[in-house]
Amino acid sequence: MLEGPLHWRSPKRTKHLHESTNVLLSLKHAPADKNDRSFASSNPLAHPPPITAPPAPLLGAEHVPTLHARCIAWGPRVHHATLVPCGSKLKHFSAMRSTSVLLVAAALLGVVLSTAIRKQRMDLAGYDDSFARYKMLSFSAMAYADEPNLCMKSAYPAGGNNTVHKRVEVPCDSDDSSCRGMSAVSHSDKAIILTFRGTNQFLQLIQEAVNTVFDPEPFIAGGYVSRYFYEAFKSVWRGGLKDDFLALRNKYPDYEVWVTGHSLGGAMASLCAATLAHLGQVNTQKLRLMTFGQPRVGDKAFATAHDAMILFAYRVVHNRDIVPHVPPEILPDHGLIDGYVHHKSEVWYPNKMRVDDSYVICNADEGKKCSDSDYITLSVSDHLSYFEDHEWITDFGEDGCPVQMVNK
């Protein structure tokens, strides 16, 4: 069940869902990839042995549609949606997009599971729940903050010389909605930090993804990527963040580089890390990428190139988060035969992401034991909240990333 608000953030003074859309989406399970390694953990600092992934939440039998593969068509009012069989409607999508009606058929939520061969790669280190929960989440959330140094202090409660260095905010689409990037330096961890914030309106992400889904752009390291995601990244990067990063890298050549972001910011972070690696602007042994609620960024060739370049890359997904399932995995007759494919590796929390909650790691581009597994319901609310229950990540950042919100 797709549930939750269609607006990006809910102000704390209202804290209610202004609009909701109830859409039933059935995802057909594909056989697990033999190269897909899954792990679960109840200890955030441990490296657990392989175990069977916990089952995904199932739809009740009375709610399962006859056809497993479904598309969702959105009408002129975005809260109106209609389920249609993907096979019979998808071929007409190109003609429909020429109209003023906003349609998000298979181009947005239809899921056709890929059978591409996955490539294994060695990580710099295993996934660390504490590193994600107490540091990278704060760095990701501070991109939403008016006072980002509060998030830096939250990430380092013991103090130390850790500060935000530069903030770049530029228009990133036809509606002049802004995207943002920040650089920071942690002398405590000897790391240069890059964090990205995409749209602060959920509808903007949906609309722009639809408008550009059939218009991919070649990526410098190989493959094709979403034009909207790529242009958003380049706008921020060329708007001053690149020059600032290069100055910091020259000043601190031995520091690691940590790149992060949430939602569209996660897509921008993924493109940033791949750009740095491809151009040799950072030692890949010192590059760490971690995103939260990241959408698919490019095609299979891009995912393959990304996997080969970046040794430490994790996409954290909260339970039924809708955004990691868009854009779709197949776009027939539009140049992207295999559609959009995630790069490695996914960390899936099929729960509320509290301390000691279990998680599953899928070391595959589209791990079938993680959020793609079996029948699941999709949620907007799960996209907006990571590692805590009471605040959305936008509010979390604007409140200065209070430690008590994630330390449960």
Please calculate the CA angle 176-321-80 and round it to the nearest 5 degrees: 65
**Would you give the DSSP letter of residue 119?**
-
Q: Say how far residue 238 (Cα) sits from the centre of its chain.
A: 22
Q: Say how far residue 66 (Cα) sits from the centre of its chain.
A: 30
Contact 128, 377 (CB under 8 A): no
> Is 176 a catalytic site residue?
no
Could you give the 3-state DSSP secondary structure of residue 231? helix
Contact 262, 140 (CB under 8 A): yes
> Is 188 a catalytic site residue?
no
Structure confidence by residue, pLDDT tens digits, 122-162: 344 589 999 999 999 999 999 999 999 999 999 999 999 99
CA–CA separation, 389 vs 391, rounded Å?
Answer: 6
Q: How far is CA 96 from CA 71, 183, 222, in A?
A: 14, 41, 30
Look at residue 347 and tell me whether its pLDDT is greater than 70: yes
> Is 130 a catalytic site residue?
no
Structure tokens at 326: 């868009």
Residue 298: band (very low, low, confident or very high) from pLDDT cuts 50, 70, 90:
very high
Q: Which residues of 374-408 are buried (b: 16+ CB within 10 A; e: fewer)?
A: bbbbbbbbbbbbbbbeebbbbbbbbbbbeeebbee
Residue 377: band (very low, low, confident or very high) from pLDDT cuts 50, 70, 90:
confident
Residue 110: its pLDDT value, please?
Answer: 34
Contact 255, 245 (CB under 8 A): no
Q: Say what percent of the chain tops pLDDT 90.
A: 48
For 14, phi then psi, to 5°, come to -115, -50
Dihedral (C-alpha) 394, 4, 296, 309: value to the nearest 10 degrees?
A: 40
Among 61-70, 168-177, 236-245, 309-318, the minimum mean pLDDT is found in 61-70
Structure confidence by residue, pLDDT tens digits, 179-212: 999 999 999 999 999 999 977 666 666 666 667 7
For 120, phi then psi, to 5°, come to -80, 150
For 268, phi then psi, to 5°, come to -65, -40
Residue 307: its pLDDT value, please?
Answer: 97
Residue 287 CB partners (closer than 8 Å, separation 6+): 256, 257, 259, 273, 276, 277, 310, 311, 312
Look at residue 105 and tell me whether its pLDDT is greater than 70: no
Look at residue 406 and tell me whether its pLDDT is greater than 90: no
What average pLDDT does the segment 312-328 reach? 92
Ordered structural domains, the chain, with CATH: 38-55+119-405 (3.40.50.1820)
**How high does pLDDT run on average in the chain?**
72
Structure tokens at 88: 């019979």
Residue 374: band (very low, low, confident or very high) from pLDDT cuts 50, 70, 90:
low
Q: Which of 114, 263, 270, 385 is catalytic?
A: 263
Q: Which of 128, 372, 383, 395 is catalytic?
A: 383
Look at residue 104 and tell me whether its pLDDT is greater than 60: no
Contact 373, 123 (CB under 8 A): no
Residue 248: its pLDDT value, please?
Answer: 98
Q: Which of 321, 372, 395, 399 is catalytic?
A: 321
Residue 145: its pLDDT value, please?
Answer: 93
Contact 25, 69 (CB under 8 A): no
Contact 132, 262 (CB under 8 A): no
What average pLDDT does the segment 377-401 reach? 85
The closest alpha carbon to 258, from 242, 279, 276, belongs to: 276
Q: Which residue has the tokens 């102000």?
A: 11
